[in-house]
Structures are given as C-alpha cells and as structure tokens.
Structure 1
Amino acid sequence: MALDFSNIHSLNQFKKNNEKKESRDFPFERENVFDIDLPSETSIYPFFREDFALQDAMFFDTETTGLSHGAGNMVFLAGIGYVDRGKLVIKQFFVSNPSIEFKLIETLLELFANRNIVISYNGKCFDIPVIKTRCVMNGINEPDVEQIDLYHISRFVWKDKLRSFRLVDIEREILKFERKDDLPGSMAPFAYREFLLRGKTELLERVFKHNLRDVYSLFEIFKIICNKNNIDVLFAKARKFFALKEFDESLDILRHILSLEIDDINKKKVYSLAAKCLKKKGEFEKAKKLWLKIRDVESHIELAKFYEHKQRDYNKALKHTEMALSKTKEKTPLFKELLIRKKRLISKSGYFDL
C-alpha cells in the first residue's frame, strides 16, 4: 500500500489545536496509523534469534542536532513504529524546547521497556549510542535493548547487487520507491535551529515527513527479510547458516530455492554453496556432481583437489587444473598457484605412469 502523508498536521496547526492542552514544556506527540500487509511469517532467523516475536519489537529512527554521537548531540525528534492489530502505528515525539529533552528520553525508555527489540537502520552505530549518551547527560539509566540493524542485514543480503547501502538506495533499488521533495537528514539540525530561533516551521515539517518515511521504510525492509520466496534473502540466509556451520539448514534453504523459478546464474550460485556444504559434511561424491555441473574456475580447482587427494587420480586432477588455468588470467596469484599445482601433478602422474 502506498504511504499517504496527507493526514499529517502542520506544526502550526498542531500548536493551534493543542495550545490549551500542551505547552512548550512538553514534547508533543503525533500518531499515524497505516494499513499494512503483514508477512505470513515474521522470522528473520538466522539474522536474529529464532524465538523473535514481532510484538516485542519496534522500528526506531531519530533526528538529532548533529551527525555524531558525542555529548553535544541531542535528539529532538524520535520516530517509533510498531504493529498493532494488523496496522502499523508510527508515533513521533518532538522536543519543542531543549530544556525538556529528558522527558523525550523518559518516554522512549518506557517504550523500550515494553518492546525491548529495536529495529533500526544503522542504529547500532548511531541512534542507540546517541540515546545512551543523552541518558548519561540527563542522569538516567541507559536502556537495555536488543537490536536488529537492517543496515548490516541489507549489506549481507544485497552485497552483490548494490554498491551503496544508504536507506534511500535500498528504497530505490529494493523497495522500488523514490522520495519526492525529501529533506536530507543532514539538514535536520538546521531546520530545528530555524524553528528554535525564528519559529520557522516549513523545513521542520519536512523533517517530520522524512522521519516518518524512514520508520515506514524500516517496516518495508523487514517485510522483505521475512519473505520466504525472495531469492536474495533466501540465499543470504543459506550463506549465514553456512558461516554458522549449520550445513543441513543451509542445504534445506538451497533446495527450496531450486524449487522456485530461478535463472542459470542463480542456479550456479546455489550449486556452488551446496557443494561447499556437502564438502564440509564429507559427502564428496555428492559435491563432485555439483562441481561438474558448475564448471567454473573454483569448481575445477575443487575437482582437482578431490581427484588428487581423495581418489589419487592424478591424470583427472591434472585435467581439471588445466581447465582452471584456461579460465584464469595470467600473471595473477591464482594463475601462479595453479601452475605450481600443475607441475606437481605432472610429476605425480608421470611417476605413476612408469
């Protein structure tokens, strides 16, 4: 569903409607509710623990007076989102006067206590450290939260597809959405300063929209990570299980990928990782069948190793070494390594041919 910003009040209208209810001594709160399509399954394992529950999590993004997480950087706007009864609720909390920042921090700590899994984009390196610093500055205990950083997951999932991993890049390339008239996050400090010193709200209004879009995009990225039929995500999960030495789990996912409609390039990627899993499990004959299907440099090298060390068939090992050499650029370290292997195999095969 397209994101609709039409129900967001202007700051001036908000203050007019609430001038008798709230003063500038309190950060004001905005709430927006969106109809959403929930994924049938909300597990992002193995990127996070297996017993993750969406009701324990919230999506989180901040706007601050600076771009570092030093003591002088203050949070003036925090956006949090959570799923409630099939809808995405996004609340924004605004520090209308720096003197009442601690009330925003206390509000966030209450929210963290109820939903202690924070889903962010680069929040491990920025948003949460800033909050912790502001807790120290305000004499408040730091929050005890678990974090899911979609920035790091995105880099792992789309490392072969994207060069840049800014949130706007993920939106454009993965979510297929491009922001219009968006105020860059780097302009947020200036917009806040203009509001405090001159009462100007035009730029600040755009900061609110920027923050709202950020939180909404976190949910959209999360949905993709939960998608059981997304090839990029599935293959990344298989790679993650391989890194964790959970080879059977990796193979299960790879079999599922093969059951989907995929092109030859993705098939080779699946075969290659499956062969690595089988090799780690000691199932060399099964791995050999996959290497013979792939027939790239890496698979020929693996076949050369298999025939040399497992079957003592030096002629076949030499054959695959030569095929690997034919696909490798000269004067590269790998080419030199293959020449050494070839020389050794010629010596071995010649010795046993006598």
Structure 2
Amino acid sequence: MLKHTFCHIPGVGTKTEKRLWNSGILDWNSPLGSFKLRKKAEGTFQSTIEESRRSFELRDPGYFGSTLPPKESWRLFSDFRDDVAYIDIETNGYVGPHGYITAISLYDGKRVRYYIKGENLDDFKEDIFDYKLLVTYNGKCFDIPFIESHMGIKLPHAHIDLRYTLRDLGFKGGLKGCEKLIGIDRGELKGVDGYFAVLLWRDYRRNKNPKALETLLAYNIQDVVNLEPLMIKAHNLKLMLTP
C-alpha cells in the first residue's frame, strides 16, 4: 500500500490522491503526464517521491511516520510488520512529578517482553530500539509522551495510534469497546481496567502481594497482545475501503 501512497506529499490530500489513482497514476513509478497538481504540490511532488523511494529502500518508516496524516498511518503496517512493537504502559495514576510508570509490556507478534518498576524497567530504553514501528491505542496522547518525559528518552519511531484509525472506521468505546466489536473476549480479566491496575500496583507495593503484580502484568500484556488483531482488522478494513 505504501508505494501507492501520495497523501504524504505536501499539497496532496486524500481527495487528490484518489484523483491520481483514477487517472491511472497508481504508484511512485507512474508518470504524471498531463495531471494538474495544485501549486503547493508542483514544486515538491517529484522530490518527495524520490525521498519516499530512498526511505523505503532503506527500510525507514520514520520518514513516512512524520509525513502521513495520523489516520493514514495504518498504511505503514504491511510493509513494516516485521519491525512492529505493540506497546502499552501502566502508571501509578498520577501525572506530573508524582507520576511514574509501574509496568510496560511490549509484543512484537512473536514474543512478549515486560518491564516492572524496581526490577527491569530501564531495560525498555534499550529494547525498544530493536523496532522501527510502534503500535499503540491512544499512545500519541498518553503512552509515548509519558515514556519520554518520565524515562528521559526520545522515541523517534514511526507510530500507528489505532485510536485515530479505528475512530475513522467508526469504532468507539476506547480500547476495550473496540475489542468487543471484533469479538475479543478478555475472559477472567474482563473486569480489570486502568484504575484497577493502579489499585493492583498499590496492593503489590504496600502488601508485597505477588498475586496483585501477576494480575497487573496479565492485564498489561493482554492490552498489547490484543493490539495485533485490532491492527490487522483496521488495516484490512481500510484496504477494502481504498479504491
């Protein structure tokens, strides 16, 4: 899909992109011919196509992540699926100087890694750079800025925030609501939510309750594992709706 994409070019929105496709200009190798671009796009079209080719050949999704509209970032998935990390964080419930990360889970489609405050949380700072593309739900507003500000690192990765893609498809109700719409059942963890995760952490810290930590991690891990079928569903639905 990415090689058929033009909406990351300055001055080319999704409407112009559809006109390009309808005119037979289907990918980056198609000549423009007599197609008329807006003035804003005329000067940047060819140079952006050339940069797109270079970035694609270098396996660099970061370029496209910085130029694609957020609701179109789903287009990165099929070409960079082998470089994906699905991530989600849990916190102590506070923001600002009193807030901190209690756990992070990372899933790459094959294995799960998890990180716990006071044990191995700093390992995340290195492990996350094994990947080039992040997939989250509401990560643009919450997870990524929280990680960057509280762990002192910058995450320059390309990023698909499923909140925007799923909302554009008509999915509502937050992560759990979207899961229900595609038939994901959380089983024994059905009643656990973000606030309950905060209480689990407090129980673990105050009472040294290993069961509380076990449940917290199970909840956090389920969040990231469930992102994969949501990503696949969103990607396939978007493809079906693309001319």
Name the TM-score class by shorter chain: 0.5 to 0.7
Q: Which residue of 1 aligns with 2:146?
A: 130
Shift of the alpha carbon at 1:165? 2.8
SS class of match (1:180): helix
What does the per-residue CA deviation read over 1:233-282, in whole Å, with 9 as the maximum and x for residues that have no partner? 345x53xxxxxxxxxxxxxx2xxxxxxxxxxxxxxxxxxxxxxxxxxxxx
Question: What pairs up with 1:28-67 in 2 under 5 angstroms?
Answer: 47-49=74-76, 52-66=79-93
How many residues are treated as equivalent by the alignment?
Answer: 172
Change (3 A) 1:45 1:143: closer
Q: Which residue of 1 aligns with 2:132?
A: 116
Structure 1: runs of 5+ lacking an equivalent: 1-43, 239-252, 254-354
User: Aligned partners of 1:192 and 1:53: how far apart in 2?
Assistant: 34
SS class of match (1:175): coil
Q: Which residue of 1 aligns with 2:166?
A: 154
**How large is the Cα RMSD of the aligned pairs?**
2.5
User: Aligned partners of 1:167 and 1:204: how far apart in 2?
Assistant: 22
User: Aligned partners of 1:196 and 1:75: how far apart in 2?
Assistant: 13
Q: How does the TM-score come out when normalised to structure 1?
A: 0.44
Shift of the alpha carbon at 1:48? 3.7
Structure number with greater CO (CA < 8 Å, separation at least 6) is 2
Q: How does the TM-score come out when normalised to structure 2?
A: 0.63
Structure 2: runs of 5+ lacking an equivalent: 1-70
Q: Which residue of 1 aligns with 2:106?
A: 80
Of structures 1 and 2, the larger Rg is shown by 1
Change (3 A) 1:50 1:189: closer
Kept in 2, the 8 Å contact 1:77–1:92? The answer is yes
Q: Which residue of 1 aligns with 2:177?
A: 169
SS class of match (1:53): helix
Q: Which residue of 2 aligns with 1:222?
A: 231
What does the per-residue CA deviation read over 1:162-208, in whole Å, with 9 as the maximum and x for residues that have no partner? 4x331111111123435434321212222112211211133322211
Change (3 A) 1:173 1:62: same
Q: Share of identical aligned residues, percent?
A: 21
Change (3 A) 1:148 1:197: same
Kept in 1, the 8 Å contact 2:90–2:101? The answer is yes
Q: Which residue of 2 aligns with 1:142?
A: 154
Q: Which residue of 1 aligns with 2:115?
A: 93
Shift of the alpha carbon at 1:94? 1.4
Question: What pairs up with 1:5-20 in 2 under 5 angstroms?
Answer: none
